[in-house]
């Protein structure tokens, strides 16, 4: 009998992930990861603050990042990703770059953040105009717009939810409704008006299953916080993120899919069974 499998497990490459203390979508991150890569997650210390610019600053302090990355060093990941959108845009472009430098010093491996990965993804798609969906309050949403403006990206439309907690509980139907508000279809042909891409912010907002459906309806690439984070981190390993018909991950998807003339919005997928970021 062949028992060679007892010599396993197969070698795994590692991605270290630093997430805010209330991050609840570990399983969603894993859905983008190929079988030969493992995620190693650690979280920032708890602080009794609701989702806000203050919390974004607290969970992205360099001392916090340094301690988090050092907890991952013993595992030996090949890249470290900071999985929090607001925490990585709250300090602007200079602040985001400084975060990457701090994590790289602590771990001696390449580092990425969600907001840095967003700019990388927009450049990959040649998207200079973006519509936004966020679960945040006005002030946090405005900070994201300022970050994008600093990078030379024009915000063409925006819809936000005003939430300060329990963002991971937002159902897909609400995400889709906000996307339709941020990117109204033109009356002729149904193509998205004005935007080159849609970005759905916050790593604690479920998005995996709605991306292909929204791309079919809006006819533009749809990016999400968790998607760009995993795409950027895995790219640094020389491998690809896994995602069915998502334009960022599959060049053949960048020209479609499109809905037939006169067909209405696509049906929503089932809700995931799965904090803010």
pLDDT one-digit tens code per residue, 87-99: 999 999 999 999 9
Cβ neighbours of residue 29 closer than 8 Å, sequence gap 6 or more: 17, 39, 41, 83, 203, 226, 229, 230
CA dihedral 153, 103, 111, 72 (to 10 degrees): -140
Choose among 200, 198, 202, 228: nearest CA to 215: 198
Q: How far is CA 258 from CA 125, 212, 250, 253, 254, in A?
A: 18, 11, 15, 10, 10
Q: How far is CA 58 from CA 54, 55, 86, 229, 254, in A?
A: 6, 5, 11, 20, 37
Residue 24 has pLDDT above 70, yes or no: yes
pTM of the model: 0.89
Query: In the chain, which residue ranges form alpha helices assigned H by DSSP?
Result: 26-30, 53-58, 62-73, 85-89, 92-107, 114-125, 138-150, 172-182, 210-218, 225-236
Q: For residue 255, what pLDDT is reported?
A: 63
Report, as an integer, the average pLDDT of 237-253.
Answer: 91
Q: For residue 98, what pLDDT is reported?
A: 97
Q: What percent of the chain clears pLDDT 70, i.e. is strictly above it?
A: 86
Q: For residue 193, what pLDDT is reported?
A: 58
Instruction: Determine the distance from the C-alpha atom of residue 3 to the mean position of all C-alpha atoms in its chain, rounded to a whole number.
Output: 41
Q: What 8-state DSSP symbol labels residue 193?
A: S
Any idea which of 53-57, 202-206, 254-258 has the lowest mean pLDDT?
A: 254-258
pLDDT one-digit tens code per residue, 193-226: 589 999 999 999 999 999 999 999 999 999 999 9
Q: For residue 190, what pLDDT is reported?
A: 44
pLDDT one-digit tens code per residue, 131-147: 999 999 999 999 999 99
**270 confidence band (pLDDT: 50, 70, 90):** low
């Amino acid at each position: 009998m062949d028992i060679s499998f007892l010599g396993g497990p197969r070698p795994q490459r590692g991605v270290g992930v630093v997430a805010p203390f209330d991050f609840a979508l570990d399983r969603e991150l894993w859905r983008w990861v190929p079988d030969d890569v493992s995620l190693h997650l650690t979280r920032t210390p708890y602080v009794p603050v609701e989702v806000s610019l203050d919390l974004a600053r607290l969970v992205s302090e360099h001392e916090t990042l340094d301690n988090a990355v050092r907890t991952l060093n013993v595992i030996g990941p090949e890249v470290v990703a900071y999985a929090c959108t607001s925490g990585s845009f709250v300090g602007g472009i200079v602040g985001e770059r400084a975060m990457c430098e701090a994590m790289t010093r602590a771990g001696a491996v390449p580092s990425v953040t969600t907001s840095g990965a967003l700019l990388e993804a927009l450049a990959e798609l040649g998207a200079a105009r973006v519509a936004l969906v966020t679960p945040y309050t006005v002030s946090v949403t405005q900070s994201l717009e300022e970050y994008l403006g600093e990078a030379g990206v024009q915000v063409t439309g925006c819809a936000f939810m005003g939430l300060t907690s329990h963002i991971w509980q937002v159902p897909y139907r609400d995400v889709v409704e906000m996307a339709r508000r941020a990117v109204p279809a033109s009356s002729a042909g149904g193509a998205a008006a004005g935007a080159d891409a849609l970005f759905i912010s916050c790593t604690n907002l479920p998005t995996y299953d709605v991306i292909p459906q929204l791309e079919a309806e809006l006819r533009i690439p749809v990016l999400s916080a968790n998607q760009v984070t995993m795409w950027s981190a895995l790219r640094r390993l020389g491998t690809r993120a896994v995602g069915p018909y998502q334009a960022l991950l599959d060049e053949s998807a960048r020209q479609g899919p499109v809905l037939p003339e006169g067909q209405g919005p696509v049906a929503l997928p089932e809700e995931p069974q799965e904090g803010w970021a």
